[in-house]
Chain A
Amino acid sequence: MLLDISEVINDSIGEIECVERVVSPRFFDDTTESGFVLVDMDARADSSTKVQLLFSKSKVYVHPTSSAKDNIPGYLALVRPKNASNTEVLLSWVPESSLAGSRDLDYYVKVDLEPPHAADEIGPSTNASNSRNTSGIREVLVSPPPRSSISSYAFSIPLSNIYSIQVRPPSFGWWWGSLILHTKTEETLPALFFHDSESQSTILQRKQRTKDFEPFANGDELFWGGEQFLQSLKNLAALETSTLEPSIMLVNPEPEDRRAFSPRSAKVQQPKEDPISKALKDVRWSILEKLARVTRLSRQVALDVIDKSPQSVKVLLNKPEVKKIGDDFDSAKVYLAKWALGIAEEAQRSRSKVVWNDGYEDIMGSAVGDFELLSVDYSIERRNEVGLAEWSAFFDHTGRLSLTVSEVKERIFHGGLAPAVRSQAWLFLLGVFPWDSDESQRRSILSEKRNEYYRLKGKWWNDTERQDDDFWKDQKSRIEKDVHRTDRNISIFSDSDTPHPDPESRFAETGTNLHLEQLKDLLITYNEYNVNLGYVQGMSDLLSPLYVVFQDDAIAFWAFCGFMKRMERNFLRDQSGMRQQLLSLDHLVQLMLPKLYVHFEKADSTHFFFFFRMLLVWYKREFEWDDVLRLWEVLWTDYLSSQFHLFVALAILDKNKDEIMEHYTQFDEILKYMNELSMKIDLEDTLVRAEILFTRFKKTVDMVDRKRAEQNNEDAAGQQEGLPKISDELRLLLSKEVIETKEVERPPNAGGG
């Protein structure tokens, strides 16, 4: 350690202009002199103009516009001019670019990475002239930072001119923590954003705290760059929190200020707190909790936690898994930060007193309009499929699940299942096995279910009267027709070399095979089992993959019944379930892909009928066989939403929207285009896209809700035209609860149609 530091210092010795004295107790033994480096007497000569760098923090940004590409990184610094008192200490922001190539940069970096250890070490030096013999104090001299620069946004003001500092710790949705300086002269200074995830020093410190098991050492707040700055500032100035507005810290308040205990907000034109920040304040707890929980699970879990009620961080701290925050912590943070980038930019805007209705468009723009951008720097990882070994390891020796259901579902949602695992795992996903069952319970479930199926099948099989019924015959022939045209490219269904058992069948001449006959019997049994619904076209598509995976008719039947619980609404006689889903999709596209929606309106296509088949049989005809199995198991998890299939639709539209808008202006053209996507859709890409869209959707709904609540508070008259309506249909998309709608009682004489 000692050697490293020396090397760094020696490297830069060449033409060093300043007196450098490093004794950082953390790295150096107090008894050694080796950290003492003294250089270049010439440099000392002009040290009179130099200032002492007391504090430096890297990756503090100015966001001049709402666009992330305009962000300017720099250093936030506290510097003491020669002989200056504490109130004359300068608070400076220096853009990286103006330090580039200069030797000062090294010092900013160094002071940032090795902050003076204890509070008193940056205390006022009584003898400002580089007292090199003071033990344990580092004095670093640099050129005075620019006072102000219009072109670079650099500024430097004495502490005496700072009236108050508005502090916004990082929080969910707001992401970057920021500081806003209110000056007594009403000079406008840019807000400073702490990009903690880029700042080496903040990362190091946070890791250290995690290691020391005190990530929230400063009260309940998550450690961040701004906090570190304030700690340093406290050694130079009295900071008092305003009781009126806890986010405001008064700097060296006068007695009158203190009496009022409030910033002269009118005078400094402290902007009215914008609705977003206000709303987000409430969320701070959940972000802490969320981050703290990110342990061995993926980032998506973090998002999931938002829904859950806040819990004391103290309790969390006692949990062993919190100790493992470490690196996951950072990755979750980066993930969330990127996610919320658009919002952070909006924050800057609303601070400069932009009214919400203007700002709204921006959020919507950045939240939903710019997908391509997002897909580049935002990665949702698809994971490996769950193999047999991993699956078995989910269970204890009694065969009971030793993970939470949500953990298993998360794993399946992001990775899918290996073929060998499916015949087990699907039974859980489809509700045949309760998640909390053990091995012996499952064994008895299987044997019961098997008997039950054969009983159900035997009932119609032996009932000649039933078989004479018109409805029954009609349904039977419909089933047979469909079975004979379902998945015949799959090997077990491809043969037709078995003579047909029924010479009256329309397939008597064509021949059949054992598996086709099994499918037929299964569907007839279902037709009898769920009398009100009966068999409807499309069901054969839903059954066939289950049959192939289980290779056991009785088990396939119960798995199919489980699947049908959620799919029943697709097949209702009045088609209300399909209409509802198409309507939800309509609303979703309106909100998330507004340009495309306008295009659809012009093309008379907002009934979204071209998604009918995709939604009806869950993309069975759109994807290759293996992909269908993967897609279904992902959808069965209901991990983000029980209607994730609609986000799959949204993803397909998102992927194809440019093509559609450019070339297809008529409904039939669009229908044809969509139909022809069949077998050309990349599943993994679609799933990632769907997840991103879901996340954005959820974010957008939250945002609109907060805005609306805010507007209601502020202005009873309500200025809500700018806000999109979040319909009940849309809200329902956030629910993980499966929607089960049963068909009404079959009217007498209702045919199979």
Chain B
Amino acid sequence: MQIWDTAGQERFQSLGVAFYRGADCCVLMYDVNNAKSFEALENWRDEFLIQANPRDPDSFPFVVIGNKIDVEDSKRAVSTKRAQAFCASKGNLPYFETSAKEATGVEQAFEVVARNALQQEDAQDFSQEYSDAININLDSDSSSCAC
């Protein structure tokens, strides 16, 4: 299993084509103390689906993580409830809250990530002979771009 981390700034997203394609699971992470980072999640998710172009976008496994929960409560900008509601609306995405700083919740989150990835990989193996025939490259990709 490989875990890739992408560049944060939007203009580097065009690189995603190469990185997203073939992914078995996608982790969307935001800062619970930063509402903007939460609001950007939907965008990231859409972008991922466009570029990864998975066979079944609706059932592709995402995991959402709200990070930096160690920071004092007064700074909190996104409540757990709000995050959970968002995840529910996107097809019951698993949601975790973590602190990378204090290593809380990280393991649990990644366990689910790994399980989902393995499941997805199996499902894809099954349909390999079909997906192989689909030639996705930089050029043909633009036709599927919804933006």
Contacts and interface: CB of A to CB of B under 8 A. Distances in A.
A509 to B, nearest CB: 8
A537 B12 contact: yes
Chain A contact patch, size range: 20 to 34
A575 B9 CA distance: 12
Nearest to A609: B18
Contacts of B33: 506
A667 B9 contact: no
Contacts of A273: none
Nearest to A753: B10
A573 B9 CA distance: 10
B2 interface: yes
A752 interface: yes
Given A607-B138, A668-B2, A752 B9 contact: yes
A607 B11 contact: no
Nearest to A481: B8
B9 A753 contact: yes
Interface string B46-77: 00000000000000000000000001000000
A474 B9 CA distance: 11
Contacts of B12: 537, 575
A718 interface: no
A529 interface: no
A734 B118 CA distance: 49
Given A575-B14, A609-B15, A536 B138 contact: no
B18 A667 contact: yes
Contact of A573 (B2, B11, B18, B138): B11
A335 interface: no
B91 interface: no
A471 interface: no
A103 interface: no
B15 A612 contact: yes
A602 interface: no
B22 A668 contact: yes
A536 B18 contact: no
A672 interface: yes
Interface in A704-753: 751-753
A655 interface: no
Interface string B8-50: 1111101101110010000000000100100000000000000
A45 B8 CA distance: 95
Interface string A648-665: 000000000000000000
A44 interface: no
A564 to B, nearest CB: 16
Given A607-B138, A667-B18, A668-B22, A536 B11 contact: yes
B146 interface: no
Contacts of B134: none
B147 interface: no
A478 B14 contact: no
Interface string B92-120: 00000000000000000000000000000
B7 interface: yes
A752 B36 CA distance: 13
Contacts of A574: 11
Interface in B113-147: 137-138
A572 B11 CA distance: 8
B11 A753 contact: yes
A509 B18 CA distance: 37
Contacts of A672: 2
Contacts of B9: 478, 536-537, 752-753
A571 B8 CA distance: 14
Interface in A597-641: 604, 607, 609, 612
B120 to A, nearest CB: 15
A733 B100 CA distance: 45
B52 to A, nearest CB: 13
Contacts of B17: 607
Contacts of A671: 18-19
B132 to A, nearest CB: 12
Given A668-B2, A672-B2, A751 B18 contact: no
B18 A607 contact: yes
B85 to A, nearest CB: 25
A207 B138 CA distance: 60
B130 to A, nearest CB: 18
B39 to A, nearest CB: 12
Contacts of A609: 15, 18-19
Interface in A451-480: 474, 478
B91 to A, nearest CB: 26
Given A537-B9, A571-B11, A671-B18, 12 more contacts: A474-B36, A478-B9, A506-B33, A509-B71, A537-B7, A573-B11, A575-B11, A604-B137, A609-B15, A671-B19, A753-B9, A753-B10
8 contacts: A537-B7, A537-B9, A573-B11, A668-B2, A668-B22, A671-B19, A752-B9, A753-B11
